[in-house]
A and B are shown apart, each in its own frame.
Chain A
Amino acid sequence: MVRPARLEVRAQPDRARPTLAVDGELDLSSVPLLAQHIDSQIESEPDALTLDLSGITFMDSSGLRLLIELNERAGRDGWRLSLIAPQHDSATLVLRMTGADRALPFEGPPLS
């Protein structure tokens, strides 16, 4: 039995905009968990969502796919998505490698 990656998703009620903070490893095994949190968050506050990915230590292509899909969905349904970039090298690498760092709505300066 394959052990799922460790991922924690927390709502951040003290932030100005609806925010989910995501910590840990975002891969094939943990993507469904984040997707679930996002769905219920959007259901309760449908205007905007910030995903704080600064605590992400690892991301694979399925994690990236989730972000791309989310970005398309935000554009289609007319709500605002913003992303706070990961700090960890292995997660930023995937974003840079795929061009997602420029194409997805990351806040602040481009990823180094």
Chain B
Amino acid sequence: MAQDLAELIRDRERLVEELRAALRGSERRFDAIVGSLTDPVTIRDRDHRFLYANRAALAHLGFESWEQLRATAPATIMSDYLVRDERGEEVAMDDIPSVRLLRGEAAEPLLIQTIQHDTGVQRWNLLKAAPLLDEHGEIDATIMIIEDVTEQRRAELRNAFLADASAALASSLDYEQTLRNVAELAVPGIADWCAVDLVDDDGDRRTVAVAHVDPERLVLAEALRRHVPDRVDPDEGLGRVLDTGEAVVYPRVTDAMLAAAAVDAEHLELLRAVGFRSLLIVPMRLGERILGAMTLVSAESVRTLDRFDQELAEQVAARAAAAIEHARVYSERSRIARMLQQDLLPEQLPAIPGYDLGSIYLPAVETSMVGGDFYDIWEVKGRWLIVIGDVTGKGIEAAALTALVRHTLRAAAEFQRSPAELLSFVDATLKKRPSLSVCTALCFALEGDTATIAVGGHPLPLYITGDGVREVGEHGPLLGAFPAARWQDSTLKLTAGSTLLAYTDGITDARDGDQERFGLERLCKTLTQLAERPAAEMIDELARRLEDFQIGMHTDDTAAIAVHRSADGATLGGRETHAVLRTGTITTPV
């Protein structure tokens, strides 16, 4: 802007000099200089009457001759237009730079948009004014150059809108919310209101977003939308767009068109109340498939939606279609992965004589990453086997691998006695797979008061008594990863009231708002406080503290299973799996 101003001042000085010279000479010579300029130039006297307008100015203002212009009051000319500044605020005659100069104010260039009432044509103009001084230094007249910046301005607005719309489309996988955001962005930059309809496989349409520049009139727009039938007429308007996949434009909506489109009297009344000026409907298309349509309406702004608006709307609609498809595929994948994962957990914890049990499974908030952790518990020949693990990798592949590991363990348990042998068997199975398949696993067998523990690349289980918390068992290698791997069995006597807890690193790796990890130390401290409580109670309380720590966000799967040896050795009944399943907002990882 500063540079513009400096240029303007230089221009002005030169122009004033030339004008002075010209005015001393002849009118004809002056007109030869200014008249040939392609930018409109006007000179007005102290009362703001036109003294001069070049040919470009006459054309710009819509006059055929100088005489015709001179006979028209400036205020009358302005009243033919809706004039706003770049923020959309109405511009009055007093705000025009030349008028401000006459009031003795500084007049910076002013960017205005004009919409002619009759035609609805929108232009963007940059008004620059300079004073013409008499020999006493008083303002004699003002000269104003009107620069038509419509093309630049629209390109700027288009780029800004496309950038915002692309960002909005990429911001969330909740595509209905995304479409609402895009509709909001379209007003008032492109239209006064914007509606987005989706069409399903059966051809039924559904409005998912309506945005209006004026919140009070939004009610009207929404009411109107409810009148549109689910099955729209394929020959007209929205129906035609959804049917053919081609945009339709109604530059000037007439009352006859409204009457023809109305389904009943109330509908017609609503249509008239909206004050349609111009209507544009573009398809949201993906190849041959039509997912829906965007409807843009110009009403209050009286602007005619044109070819330019259509191109812009088509670009946004194409991007919206891609975003919808992406979100649909993604949510379907998440659903499958989640379903598989649910299947991979025992529905109910069994009753084990002398023990009570508790477990928790928190799937990652980012649903695309579902499918890491698993646990299982089952009885084989009078022994109970408990396993917990983490399949590295996420999504459907991880869920499939989890299923393989779980079924392998169950099958192998029929003929392998020790947990270390079980891990070894799973390791061999994983190594036969064509692609790298690795997982961590902790397996322990419970027989009377004795636990036999083997660990493969997994955090060691925690043994919790009234005396404190300690890790038990021995680290062994990750399953499926390394050649010549071996695992060790360790045994542990569970005293009355003690608890053995197995967990996945989702607990210790959990981060708080300051990126601090929950960590093993905090876990042990928490469990010390919860020692000797029933397993389900301990797990619930641990989950609650973890939740508080993470402030509602966890990035990885989290699982834990605890067995608590009853103080009196009595059996508590079977308890339903305590599974806190959270379905947080689906977001894309950043």
Q: Could you tell me which A residues sit within 8 Å of B by CB distance?
A: 1-6, 27-29, 58, 60-62, 64-65, 68-69, 72, 90, 96-100, 102-103
Contacts and interface: CB of A to CB of B under 8 A. Distances in A.
A60 B478 contact: no
A87 B76 CA distance: 80
Nearest to A99: B477
B481 A62 contact: no
A28 B459 contact: no
Contacts of A6: 515
Interface of B: 365-366, 369, 390, 392-394, 436, 438, 440, 457-460, 475-478, 481-483, 485, 505, 509, 515, 517, 519, 553, 555-556, 587, 589-590
Nearest to B513: A3
A98 B587 contact: no
Given A96-B475, A103-B477, A2 B589 contact: yes
Nearest to B477: A99
A97 B476 CA distance: 7
Contacts of B556: 28, 60
A101 to B, nearest CB: 10
A61 B392 contact: yes
A68 B478 CA distance: 10
A104 B284 CA distance: 51
A27 B590 contact: no
B392 A65 contact: yes
Contacts of A68: 436, 438, 478, 481
Given A3-B515, A100-B481, A62 B392 contact: yes
B436 A98 contact: no
Nearest to B506: A60
Contacts of B590: 1-4
Given A60-B505, A61-B457, A99-B477, 7 more contacts: A1-B587, A2-B365, A61-B505, A64-B392, A68-B436, A98-B481, A99-B476
Nearest to B481: A68
Given A68-B481, A90-B517, A97 B458 contact: yes
Contacts of A58: 509, 517
A3 B553 CA distance: 10
30 contacts: A1-B590, A2-B553, A2-B555, A2-B590, A3-B515, A4-B589, A60-B556, A61-B392, A61-B457, A62-B392, A62-B393, A64-B478, A65-B438, A68-B478, A90-B519, A96-B475, A97-B458, A97-B459, A97-B460, A98-B457, A98-B475, A98-B477, A99-B476, A99-B482, A99-B485, A100-B477, A103-B481, A103-B482, A103-B483, A103-B485
